A and B are shown apart, each in its own frame.
Chain A
Amino acid sequence: MINYHPDSRMLNEFSAGSLPLAQSACVSLHLNYCSTCQRESRKLQQMGGMLFERLAPCEVDASLLDSVMSRLDEPAPLTYEAKTTATDESPALMRRLMKGGYKDLEWDRINSGLQISRLHTGDVENEFALYHIKAGRTIPRHTHKGTELTLVLEGSFSDEEGIYQRGDFLMRDAEHEHTPTAAKSEDCICIGVLDAPIKFTGWNYRALNPFLSLQAH
Chain B
Amino acid sequence: MPDEPPEDDSKMQGQIQVDENGSRNDEWSICLQQIGQTQCRASFERLFAHFAPLVKAFSMNGSAVSIANAEELVQEVMIKVWQKASAYNPQKAAASTWIYTIARNSRTDMFRRLRKFDTPLNAEDIWEEDTGDAPFIAVQERRNALQVKELLKTLPHEQAQILAKVYMEGKSHSEVAQELDIPLGTVKSRVRLAMQKLQIQVEK
B120 and A120 contact, CB distance less than 8 A: yes
| Residues of B contacting A21 in the complex (Cβ-Cβ under 8 angstroms) | 112, 117, 119, 121, 126
B31 within 8 A of A: no
B101 and A80 contact, CB distance less than 8 A: no
**In B96-146, which residues have CB < 8 Å from any A CB?**
96-101, 103-105, 107-108, 112, 117-130, 132, 137, 140-141, 144-145
B72 to chain A minimum Cβ distance, whole angstroms, is 10
Name the contact of A65 in the complex, choosing from B45, B57, B82, B144 (C-beta under 8 A).
Answer: B45
A122 and B166 contact, CB distance less than 8 A: no
Number of interface residues of B (CB under 8 A): 83
B171 and A18 contact, CB distance less than 8 A: yes
B157 within 8 A of A: no
B168 and A46 contact, CB distance less than 8 A: no
Segment of A36-44, A101-109, A130-138 in the binding face:
A36-44
A158 within 8 A of B: no
**In B163-203, which residues have CB < 8 Å from any A CB?**
163-164, 166-168, 170-173, 175, 188, 191-192, 195, 198, 200-203
B121 and A40 contact, CB distance less than 8 A: no
A-B contacts, 6 listed (Cβ < 8 Å): A49-B94, A52-B168, A60-B71, A79-B122, A79-B124, A122-B112
Per CB-CB distance, the 4 closest pairs between chain A and chain B, nearest first, are A122-B119, A49-B97, A57-B53, A76-B83
Q: Which chain B residues have a beta carbon within 8 Å of chain A's beta carbons?
A: 7, 9, 12, 15, 41, 44-45, 48-49, 52-54, 56-58, 60, 70-71, 74-75, 78-79, 82-84, 87, 93-94, 96-101, 103-105, 107-108, 112, 117-130, 132, 137, 140-141, 144-145, 148-149, 152, 163-164, 166-168, 170-173, 175, 188, 191-192, 195, 198, 200-204
Q: Which chain A residues have a beta carbon within 8 Å of chain B's beta carbons?
A: 5-9, 11-13, 15-19, 21, 24-25, 28, 32, 36, 38-40, 42-61, 64-65, 67-69, 71-72, 74, 76, 79-80, 83, 92-93, 96-97, 120-123
